Amino acid sequence: MTSLIEELEGTMSRPFTDHPPYPMLAHKRDLVDADSRGWVAELKMDGRRAMAIRTANGVDIYSRNMKSQKGKCPHLEDAMMDLPPGTVLDGEVVMPNDEEVEIIGKMTKSVNFTWTANVIGSKPDRAQRVQEELGRKIHFVTFDCMYLGYRNLMNDPFNWRRKYLVEVFEKYLYDCPYFVLSPLFEPGDELVEEVLEAGYEGIMLKHKESTYEEGGRGWGKYKFVDDADTVVMGFTDGQGKYSDTIGKSHYHRYLHHQQTCTYPILVHLLHKWTPCA
């Protein structure tokens, strides 16, 4: 029986470059809206977004901001060489803990964001040294396939891209423990309870018929704790016995790629701030 991957051989719907497409993003969504309406759920990993790319010239791993992470995880790069050239996988790089947890009958491992950040935020030599010191290696939790063998899959529905991704693991990544296929779940209250108890930060929601919107926000995310992406803009001096320290810090908040001041009064104080280096 011909596999889905074999049927793709020789087909190419869009020119392929050595630079991956921009990743698809998500917006906050109410879990109730997704229940029983063609949506599936994934665990929201507390890691760093990444895209694994295999070209005719080799392999590379890119961050969400299109920064090359080459050389930081050679064990992942070695496994990626088994992928067919012209393949791009979307996922999250994480550093797992030893603790295994069961969620709706599926086993997974909790992750440590600090360890992940220490590795991915370092230069290649130090990134490898940190992994050696910890006695563990970065894992690539894979949840989508954007290109496969030079074939653009982004216009295919999610459920078809998932079938291709499963075959990629069965045919090319079956013997690599560091590449992990992200498990799928049915959204609902039971899932929320178990994911919350396991300590994950939330749930990702994806419609089975959705295409991959490069740079778009077609996915949903249901987070247990609200947060905000901010940038430190300045500070005030401490007073009294704290005069040699920082008193208060002032921030701008990011909202859909646009800076929005968290506190309107700070706009009027902007000229008084001491800029951060």
**Can you give the pLDDT at residue 98?**
86
Lowest mean pLDDT: which of 120-124, 163-167, 190-194, 248-252? 248-252
How many whole angstroms separate alpha carbon 246 and alpha carbon 147? 49
- Please report, for the chain, the start and end positions of each structural domain, with discontinuous segments joined by +: 4-17+44-185, 230-275
Average pLDDT over every residue of 109-116: 93
Residue 105 clears pLDDT 60, i.e. is over it: yes
Is residue 209 within 8 A of residue 37, CB to CB? The reply is: no
Average pLDDT over every residue of 101-127: 94
Q: Would you state the CATH architecture of domain 4-17+44-185?
A: 2-Layer Sandwich (3.30)
Q: pLDDT grade, residue 172 (50/70/90)?
A: very high
| Residue 160, number of CB atoms within 10 A of its CB | 16
Q: pLDDT grade, residue 226 (50/70/90)?
A: low
**SS3 of 115, please?**
helix
The total number of residues written for the chain in this structure: 277
| Residue 272, number of CB atoms within 10 A of its CB | 10
**Can you give the pLDDT at residue 236?**
78
**SS3 of 41, please?**
strand
Residue 248 clears pLDDT 90, i.e. is over it: no
Residue 253 clears pLDDT 70, i.e. is over it: no
Average model confidence (pLDDT) across the chain: 83
pLDDT digits (tens, 9 = 90+) for 30-50: 776 655 578 999 999 889 999
Residue 268 clears pLDDT 80, i.e. is over it: no
**Can you give the pLDDT at residue 233?**
75
User: What tokens were used for 276?
Assistant: 């951060």
Q: Measuring CA to CA, which residue among 97, 98, 110, 94 is closest to residue 47?
A: 94
Chain-centroid distance, C-alpha 163: 20
Average pLDDT over every residue of 109-125: 95
Residue 121 clears pLDDT 80, i.e. is over it: yes
How many whole angstroms separate alpha carbon 237 and alpha carbon 224? 35
| Residue 241, number of CB atoms within 10 A of its CB | 7
**Can you give the pLDDT at residue 183?**
96
Secondary-structure breakdown of the chain: helix, strand, coil percentages, each rounded to the nearest 5: 25, 35, 40
**Can you give the pLDDT at residue 75?**
98
What's this model's pTM, rounded to 2 decimal places?
0.79
Residue 147's beta-bridge partner residues? 88, 152
Average pLDDT over every residue of 184-201: 90
